Amino acid sequence: MSAPAASVSPVRGRFAPSPSGRMHLGNLWSCLLAWLAARSAGGGMVLRLENLDPDRCRPEFCDQVMRDLEWLGLDWDGQPIYQSRRTEAYAAAFRALEDQGLVYPCFCTRAQRLAASAPHRSDGVVLYSGRCRHLTPAERETLSAQRAPAWRVQVPEETVSFRDQIQGDYAQNLAAECGDFILRRSDGVYAYQLAVVVDDAFQGVTQVVRGSDLLDSAPRQLWLQSKLGLPHPEYGHVPLLLSPDGRRLAKRDRDLELSQLKERFTAPQLVGRLALAAGLLPEYAPVTPQELLPHFAWDKLPRQDFVNEHIYYFRNTQNHW
Ligand code: GLU
């Protein structure tokens, strides 16, 4: 492990995998680019295991994720943190938002949330209607006797905008495009959006590089950071690798899981293919992440989610390169 970043450079990136199964090609892709972005700037890199959800994240997967990153040649500084051990920190942030009068209990069932009166976004996502925002104390008491509430934060009619390192300018009106979102589930588990801002600040993260499926979470996170008095990191949302039929790669693409890939490819072969897909190399060559450092540049990276011919090589073909 190399020295902690702070003494070397102000850039500090992070890996934040959710250990709900084996890593697949899509995770490797974003982890590789996150590592290259931070290390090529002479920066540090920290690791956080996002195992908030006790039902989905098994302890053995955490160890596996770390072994998989190491196998690929990706390192990090210091000890990883585990979200399952950070409940106190999330509770403190939750209370800070409560103290600002921003949090309210939500008793809605799934069916009520999806009720036709709720506004829809252009991409079909149903926004929360705000139904429980204005309940009276008496109504809250009655409903509390029937079910444990989830807890939502009340967002303002405010547009949050930022410049993404890869996607360029991005803006979102929180009320119109996001709606009041959940900070804590009814089973007591704190939500990703809250945990991620608390942890990024705690770990001194200055640079967040992750999949573009999280681009529309960034405005919520920037806003929460402001409300909690936390610094804003810079963001770079890498396009997603799509399978040849145009779908996002998913866990069901078993042949693209690292356990399977490892049987067919060496780490430098995998990294070389990913580097080619990222536009970092002019032609295919097996390469280590370290060797790629001088080739990294933000403006070489593709911006759109894409189906890449190189992905075919990772499918269930024999290793012939
Ligand atoms: N844990 C999330 C994932 O593995 C990433 C969260 C983030 O990078 O903010 O998809």
Which of 73-87, 272-286, 302-316 is least confident? 302-316
The whole-number pLDDT of residue 8 equals 45
Nearest atom within ligand 1 for CA of residue 30: 8
Question: What local confidence, expressed as pLDDT, does residue 314 receive?
Answer: 66
Q: Is 214 in the pocket of ligand 1 (CB under 6 A)?
A: yes
Compute the Cα dihedral for 132, 138, 142, 145 and give only its sign. Answer: positive
Pocket test for ligand 1, best of 18, 164, 224 (most atoms within 8 A of CB): 18
Cα separation, 301 vs 296, whole angstroms: 9
Indicate the range of 70-74, 115-119, 192-196, 288-292 predicted with least confidence.
115-119
Radius of gyration in angstroms for the set of CA atoms belonging to the chain, rounded to a whole number: 21
The closest residue, in CA terms, to atom 6 on ligand 1 is 16
pLDDT at 309: 65
Question: From the CB of 50, is ligand 1 less than 6 Å away?
Answer: yes
Residue 113, C-beta contacts closer than 8 angstroms, at least 6 positions apart? 126, 128, 129
pLDDT band at 117 (very low <50, low <70, confident <90, very high): low
Please return the burial class of 197, using the count of CB atoms within 10 Å of its CB with bins 0-12, 13-18 and 19+.
Answer: buried
**First CA to last CA distance, the chain:** 31
Which atom of ligand 1 is nearest to 17's Cα?
Answer: 4
C-beta separation of 228 from 196 below 8 A: no
Tell me the per-residue pLDDT of 15-57, one tens digit each, with 9 for 90 and over: 999 998 888 888 999 999 999 999 999 999 999 999 998 777 7
pLDDT digits (tens, 9 = 90+) for 123-135: 667 789 888 999 9
pLDDT at site 304: 84
Q: pLDDT confidence of 3, banded at 50, 70, 90?
A: very low
CB-ligand 1 contact for 26 (6 Å cutoff): no
Indicate if ligand 1 lies below 6 Å from the C-beta of 199: no
Residue 155 has pLDDT above 90, yes or no: yes
State which ligand 1 atom lies nearest to the alpha carbon of 14. 8
